[in-house]
Amino acid sequence: MFSDEYFMEIALSLAEEAAEAGEIPVGAVVVCRNRIIGKGRNQTEELNDVTAHAEILAITAATQYLGGKYLSDCTLYVTLEPCVMCAGALFWAQIGRLVVGASDPKRGYSRIQPSILHPKTRLETSVLANESQELLTKFFRRLRT
Amino acid sequence: MFSDEYFMEIALSLAEEAAEAGEIPVGAVVVCRNRIIGKGRNQTEELNDVTAHAEILAITAATQYLGGKYLSDCTLYVTLEPCVMCAGALFWAQIGRLVVGASDPKRGYSRIQPSILHPKTRLETSVLANESQELLTKFFRRLRT
């Protein structure tokens, strides 16, 4: 039951929620022993804060829950490849595993430097990538009309 | 009166405040038309949050003050070279100018990729670098004893 797709579906529902609020649809969850301990969705417009990306909010929520700064036993699921800022935050959090949906050839951290991530972070990409990409495409198409 | 040194001194006093609170001494201020509109100092321990770097807190404070997400008319003064996460945040904020104190050969963004900053951001380094470095050295020396 607790597959990568299961948790990515939850991240996708957060991304949908973001789209409904007029935000670029990106969602993230932090999972520790099959339990969601942090959630986030893009809120840069609502909070008027460029740092309010889904991953940053999910990391902060998870560390508040744990009462510790590090997430080495946790997995972060995010519907879109993290930007440099978020990859930098994941480095500091020492995230144990990172599962990514769609890749971001324009702003993804890997185009700058894949080694931004912590050397101990295991990486999995392209989980429900099409579903995530579809949400983004739909969002930007609607913006342009 | 409103020289780079003047504002860096204020960032340094925030760094000192951080050290007194047991935090790695880094301080930052955002200045717009010679007015400080955002301040931050490292609070990762107190807030139990790896994202609570001086720059992130200063950017968030400044954008809350302005009511806009972008800081293209502002300067951020920070006592230590930003890490990748903070440089990524400064990219999103489109900071107009970045003034740095000491460089950080271990975790500074420039060792990864200088182009993380926004192409329009003007960069000034080594402003009161010795004073900043001294605070850091003193802090880590005390930690080790």
Cβ atoms of A14 and A41 closer than 8 Å: yes
Using CA atoms, how far apart are residues A7 and A98, in angstroms rounded to an integer?
A: 12
Q: With H, G, I as helix, E, B as strand and everything else as coil, classify residue A87.
A: helix
What would the pLDDT profile of B10-69 be if each residue is shown by its tens digit? 999 999 999 999 999 999 999 999 999 999 999 999 999 999 999 999 999 999 999 999
Q: With H, G, I as helix, E, B as strand and everything else as coil, classify residue A105.
A: coil
Domains of chain A: 4-140 (3.40.140.10)
* β-pairing verdict for A97-102 and B122-124: unpaired
Which one-letter amino acid corresponds to residue A141? R
Token look-up 């649809």 returns A25
| DSSP one-letter code for A61 | H
Cβ–Cβ gap B48/A56 under 8 Å: no
Cβ atoms of A69 and A63 closer than 8 Å: yes
Contacts of B63 (CB under 8 A, 6+ apart): A48, A49, A50, B38, B69, B70, B71, B93
What would the pLDDT profile of A48-105 be if each residue is shown by its tens digit? 999 999 999 999 999 999 999 999 999 999 999 999 999 999 999 999 999 999 999 9
Interface predicted TM-score of the whole assembly (ipTM), two decimals: 0.95
What percentage of residues in chain A have a pLDDT greater than 90? 95
| Residue tagged active-site, from A46, A55, A124, A134 | A55
A45 labelled catalytic: no
Cβ–Cβ gap B64/A48 under 8 Å: yes
